[in-house]
Structures are given as structure tokens and as C-alpha cells.
Chains A and B, each alone.
Chain A
Amino acid sequence: MSNLVIAEHNNEALGAATLNTITAASQIGGDIHVLVAGSGADQVVAQAASVAGVSKVIHADADQYKDTISVELSALVIGLAGDYSHILAASSTSGKDLLPRVAALLDVAQISDIIAVDSADTFKRPIYAGNAIATVQSSDATKVLTVRPTGFDAAAAEGGSAEVAVIDASSAVGSTSVVGRELTVSERPDLGSADIVVSGGRGVGSAENFKIIEALADKLGAAVGASRAAVDAGYMPNDYQVGQTGKVVAPSLYVAVGISGAIQHLAGMKDSKVIVAINKDEEAPIFQVADYGLVADLFEAVPELVDAL
């Protein structure tokens, strides 16, 4: 068996979710190679080579790989695919964009969002927003998998010393260009990999009031999240959304403030180690999954909590 893990990066740093993907590959067994396709991404190559368990980093450097464009990357990956039994990427927006293309071009199925490796061909994955877990077996020669980062521990970022192989770029397709990006700039930890997450819901009431949530997050060194209701109401941008259609998080501590707990939201956070819910409605379904529930007005309780920490 041999695994090809597609590294996620911004040409400067290796994405945290790649470490979880490498752990999934190690549970499958066999060699683990990491593909870094980028432009001037030498630092990423060095970081990938030092991850424990990685035996080889394959580096392709070309302008067309700068912006993580899937039509370009899929052309590269299918050229490498013949050497591998498993091709994996994190189930991030870029992994989800890329791997179905790779699978289709290889004429194999793709298995999305695996949360457990039962054997080299059998995997567990959530369906119906996590309301059911399917165990699925692939009969294809090449398994193409996206990996839900919260399902696997991160591999150690240090301790490995993989060889680096530089390969030629695939021919540029040139059809797609990125003409703009509005990325959220934040001093806070990344929502997907933060150890503590503080999320606000519709109960927060306005974008302005989200400062209360942010103050608590800053006190705890936490990432800020939001329910879909809060996003739909315009309180926070969509990339803060936790839930079925947003991000799936599993921090050590998840604090849900003013969130009622719709199943779509629970799908995104119920694997958190400890869940705290603060809501003025004692009937809110969020309390059924919370380890600690506090029935209180968030506008009083949250500032009090900030002071008490």
C-alpha cells in the first residue's frame, strides 16, 4: 500500500488539516508521500518533510499551482496516481474542490469526509448531517478519500526527515484565474483547528453585539464561530459558520452562546470534548448535548464570565 496526501498550504505554511490527513494515511498503512504543488512553496516542502511518518515529499513548482486551482492540480495528481493505492486530502473547501475531479479522471469513486479507517478499503463517514454514520467499502483499485480533520489526531509536525523529490509541472490548463480574495484576517486561532471555540447564535442579536462573543474568545485564546442563523442574519461572515454547511469543529472546549442547537449546528460541533451552553431558554435543544448548561441572559452572563476568568 502507498498513500499520496495532497498538502494544503498557502505557499508559506502547511495547513493544519494536512497533519490530520497524514494520520488517516498512517492508519491505512504503507508509505506516506506528500504532494506539495505550489509556487515558491519551499518552506511548505520543508515543513512537510519534517512531519513524522512521511517518507517522501513530492514538490511541483509552477505559477499555475499558486492559487490552488483544481483544474491545474487535478492534471498533476492524475499523472502521479498510478503509483498509489490511496489518494487523500483534507475535506476542506480546497480538498472537496479537487478530489472529485481526480476520482472522475481516474474513473473511480470518491469517498467523502471519512472519520475512521476500518481497513484499507473500508471507512466510516457521516451522512445526513451526521445523523447517521455509514460504513462503506470501496471496490476500486485506487481509493480517493477526503478526510474530516476532526476524526483524526494531528500527526507530529516534527520528527520526520522525508526525502524531497522535485517533479515537472503538468501542462498549464489556463482556464481559471483567481481575480480576487477577501480573506478574514484575524489574530485569533483558526476555527478549524482551535483548541477552544466560542460561538454565537441568533440570540446575540446583532453584528455589534458579537463583540461580547469576541471578548470572551480573546480571554480564552479561542476562535470565534457562529451558527447559521447568526450568519444568515448578517451578524458574522459565512466563513465563521459552524455546522452541516459550514465548518466541522471538535475543540477541547466549545462554548455555545445564544445558540438554540438546531441539528444542522450540532452536526458541526457535537464531537467537541467539553460543551458549554449559555442560553436564556431552558428548553433549548443545545442543553441536551452540553456538559455544562447555564440558563442566563447572555448579555449579563458573558461579561461576568470574562471577568471571572
Chain B
Amino acid sequence: MKVLVPVKRVIDAYVSIRVKSDGTGVDTDNVKMSLNPFCEIALEEAIRLKEAGTASEVVLVSVGSSEIDTVIRSGLAMGADRAIRVDAENDVEPLAIAKILKHVVEKEEAGLVITGKQSIDGDNNQTGQMLSALLGWPQATFASEVVLEGESAKVTREIDGGLETVAIPLPAVVTTDLRLNEPRYPTLPNIMKAKKKPLDVIAVGDTGVDVAKRVTTLNVSPPAERTAGVMVASVEELVEKLKNEAKVI
């Protein structure tokens, strides 16, 4: 079974976000870029399936310009067998991404798609569900455990009230939550090997998908600042302030 892992390049999780003063977006100049953390978890899960003999091949796919090749290589260094980059602008919307992925899934005849539940830039949490709907495949989002049993899967999901386990037939789309696994660090030999792994480029035009924007970003602004309040010296003073000043207890 071939496992397809869609991934995204994002501003590194540990970088402080700076909103551009002209309100057009977030500053990405000279900012460290990385694989989206949820995508790393998805990739780790796929690699483990291959190591367990369940998956035959792990194919990484991403949509964007050649700027994203560096993070694609880092995914190959983790252990993906090969990669496909669909050449497009770096800000294609989730619906168009899902349509592009549908094209790739069908071309590759993948038996399972594992992807991150959201990217930490747009925080949309849409692409996996959209892909599942377009393919007519079942979905299991926010996975904290994935157990494959022949032609079906049992997936434990992180839901608001706790955990839920669903049984779904394959092929299916699974999106990953944080606790599914801890992604490995690429080793130096694997980083060297990754340089020689195949990275095929497909023009977005060849997928037949219209990537015209449906949503226009009118403005991006910093959030309202919260100013620091006062320090209290004792529990007694804290209780007094909460009762008489803030009046919340």
C-alpha cells in the first residue's frame, strides 16, 4: 500500500511572528522556515507504517514554488521514499490544494493519505477533510492512534470531550494530532541520501485545477495587546483585588 503524505512549509514554530506594518501580511523575509509540525507527525506515522511492513512506499507531496524544496528534502531525510512538488504559488487556498491532492492521489493510486490536521500559519484545519470529501473516502481527523487491520483502520481521535475511536475502511484520509507520535530527527547519512531521492515537479496546470482565489485577505493586523497589570505581594492582597477591584469572585 502506497501512503501519500501532503506536507506544507511554514514559518518555524519557534519564530516570533511579525506583522508587516502595511497590513499586507506577516514578514517572511529572512525568517526560518520548516516543515509544519503536524505534517512532520504525519510523515513519521507513514514512515513507521513502512518500517512495520504495512506500507510499501511513502510519497511526500507539497504545493508551492522551488523555494519549498529545502523543506521537502528535510522530509525525504526523515525517511520518505520520494517527493512530488506541484509547482504553484506558495499561497494556494485549502480547497485548491485539496483538488490538486485529489489529482495526485488518483495518479499515484495511493491507499492511504496521512496529513497534518492544520498548518500553524493559516490555522485553517481544512485540507484533509476537503480531500476526503472530494475523493469520497472516509476520514478520521485529529488522530492520536492509528491501527491498520488489513483493509480497514481503527483511529483514535482527540475530540472536545475526550477520545473517540472510529473504524473506517481503506482507502481513507487521516489527519494527525500532536500526540500521535514524536517525529524523528534526520540523521546525517539520511540527509545525504535525501539529496539523491527523486523529487518530481508537476506544473499546476497539468493537474487541471483552477487555483484562483476565493478569499481575499483585506488586512492583517497584530492582535490587541494585553497590558501587564499589577503584581500583588500576597494571597490576601490577591483575594482582596479579585473581590473588590475586578469583582470576579
Contact = CB atoms under 8 A, between A and B. Distances in A.
Interface string A269-309: 01001111000000000011111111110000100110011
Interface residues on A, range: 35 or more
B168 to A, nearest CB: 5
Interface residues on B, range: 35 or more
Interface string A248-266: 0000110000000001000
A274 B229 CA distance: 10
B166 A178 contact: yes
B141 interface: yes
A309 B19 contact: no
A192 interface: yes
Identify whether the interface residues of B are mostly helix, strand, loop, or mixed.
mixed
Interface string B112-139: 0000000011111111111111100011
A104 B129 contact: yes
Identify whether the interface residues of A are mostly helix, strand, loop, or mixed.
mixed
Nearest to A137: B216
B95 A103 contact: yes
A65 B46 CA distance: 31
B95 A122 contact: no
A128 B26 contact: yes
B248 A253 contact: yes
A101 B230 contact: no
B123 A305 contact: no
Interface in A155-193: 175-184, 192
A110 B94 CA distance: 8
Interface centre among B129, B177, B226 (most CB of A within 10 A): B129
Given A70-B129, A128-B17, A175-B138, A305 B162 contact: no
Given A70-B139, A292-B242, A180 B165 contact: yes
Contacts of A129: 17, 120, 123
A138 B179 CA distance: 34
Nearest to B229: A291
Contacts of B154: 179
A100 B125 contact: yes
A273 B248 contact: yes
A132 B93 contact: no
Interface of A: 69-71, 74, 92-94, 96-105, 107-113, 122, 126-140, 175-184, 192, 196, 220, 228, 232, 237-239, 244-245, 247, 252-253, 263, 270, 273-276, 287-296, 301, 304-305, 308-309
